[in-house]
A and B are shown apart, each in its own frame.
Chain A
Amino acid sequence: MNSILHSALRAFVAPSVLAVLALGMTSCGPGDRVEITGESVYSEHRRPPLVDVPSATRFAKPPARTASAVPASGPGFHFHWDTPEGWREAAPTPFSTASFEFGPQGEGACSLSLIGGSLFDNANRWRNQMGLNPYEQDEFIALQQFDILGQQATFVRLEGAFTARGKDPKSDYQLLGMMLELNGTGVYVKMVGPAQLVTDEVTNFINFVGSLQAEADSAHGAATVAGAATSDVELPPDHPPVAASSEPAPTADSSGGPASGQGYTSGQGYTWDAPEGWLRGPDRNMRLVTYGIGQASEAYVTPLGGEAGGELANINRWLGQFDQPSISQAELDAMARVSVLDKEVAFLEVSGTSKNMQGVATPDQTMLGVAYSSPSGSLFVRLTGPSVEVAGQRDAFLKFCASFTRSP
């Protein structure tokens, strides 16, 4: 009996393990021409798709992915604001009109909410979330007031262990809040995160609150109510000093079109000198800055976190765009060098037919590029365009690369 059981189990072992492994390796790709075999039926409960919808309507941008100044609806109002640099907009939640996250891992959150209940009750709800005893009425009345959206706004600053609904308490957190009543509706801006991170983001909080504009719905009368200018907002007496924000943010160009002149020469902790004749172009996603040069050339800078693949991998990727073979580390080390930030990096100059991400080929192109890669952040600088045009920009490009500095 035992031997039969043994044989049966042994016979089962190999096929079962092999079957499990084979299931994991079923990843053979389809060919270049594939018959559509999948079929389903529209649910009668589902709205049928609309036909002949123009591209402009099909590709209308969802609010959460737009860079700044996104309107959001509240009861009787549309809100506008400027999204501070470094904040990422998150999808609205059931509890907020707009949500943002910030910090290296998104540990910090800021939200704009329009909710009922008294300011006093909501301030005490926040204190409860921070593990603090409720305010007494006279304590609440004595809190610092600011002029926001034409109203007296109450400023709250709380430190303690933050407890989000259904989650464990997080110690050493800080909450900044601004609350006011607008036509009977409570408007709340709440920032919460690790104490030091929130302290570092105070300027952005103040800028955000100061940029708020509430536009009344037509059904509720007219008028736009603007937030207080940043400079008008005084910090509470016990607040750490905040550096004045004198630099325009890199995304400040709302026109989207080419700017006249060289525009800003700093952003995201970097500063640089723009060469003569380079014209700042519209802001582009992922780019620190873009310059138009001549008729059809452009220079652009892409900052990325961490090593971003490293110098060699990126140089080889750029070579691949010109159908050039990859180079080795030794060949990279032998290339001409240019000083960028704190080290000498390889200077790439490659010409030929370039292919973009869609595979469209353009002949007689030249790319100049440097790939500064470091664990503390990478900076890729490139100039691309027709070879005849790029040839005259070589010196300017090298000076441009060498001009970059980074704030510690």
Chain B
Amino acid sequence: MKLTEVLKPLGVFVLVIAVVLAGTAILSVATGSNGSGPTDGQQIQGQSPGQFQPDAVNVEADPEEGELSVDAPEGEKKILVDTSHGNTFDRAKLEPVLEALAEAGHTVDIGAVSGGGFGSGDYNATLQEYDALLVIQPGSGFSDGQRTALQKYTDGGGRVVVLGEPTQSALGQGTFGLVPTQITFGANGMTTDYGARMGADLLYNMDDSANDNNFKEIYAEPTGNSPLTEGVETVTFSRAGYIVTVGDTDASVVLGAADGTRTLKDDRTGSYATAVQNGNMVFVADSDFITRSELYDVDNEVFVSNLLNFLVSGDKPDDVPSVPGQDDGGGF
């Protein structure tokens, strides 16, 4: 076979392919549009939206200033922190308060050292030893006898401060790590004796000027001229509840939630009392404001100082409350 016999058909083969493909390309280019387009640089356009600027985004945390102090009037006072009513609190929570009280020369017992028991007689004896009682988030109620003893105690000059939490979910330490639990204020019977009970819901406030960077960190303000709120303009409470005054009572509102505060589940606006005083008893609808992370927010440290001063300013004689058998004290 001659070389030309191979080359010629091969040439035709290549030519036909070339013609068809060139035709295709020409047709394609003719019908399409292929601009070189702008350069990358022309497409680059940065943006820095106004609403992303620091002025619009950054938040100021409440200043954590001030000092916790107890101005002891005179003498050493003994304070009992209640642990016998299923109280839910971390001891570390109390440390700043304990430190301030100790510094001012007072003694604090977490749980009764002597006495003990739940009988009314025992409870009277226990209370006799102390000038003031601090009750934090009691999960269970006070018995009738204990309530009677407390009445006699406060009537006789003993001071009682109750820090409670509304019903809410919390994380508890279970056998296998954290488990969701529900905490409930259990001593409404006792507080009702003083004309107040824990409200049924948590409070929130969406107004940024009425909360501490979170809707559940509400602000409360003094409602009168109580010594408890001397020097206080604003107090912040974390996941706080409210207090309902009951019936015809002498209980007066000391702190009220800021305007626009609502209940979380029912979403009702209203004026909500967050701290109430009835004579020698003070009831606050939050127990977290004494913890380190909350203590120095806004005027919390002033309010806590005032509360501690209230605790150590009683003038209870040593024989109050009188032990049953000597008077009409009830049983369980």
Chain B associates with chain A = no
Chain A residues engaging chain B, CB cutoff 8 angstroms: none
Chain B residues engaging chain A, CB cutoff 8 angstroms: none
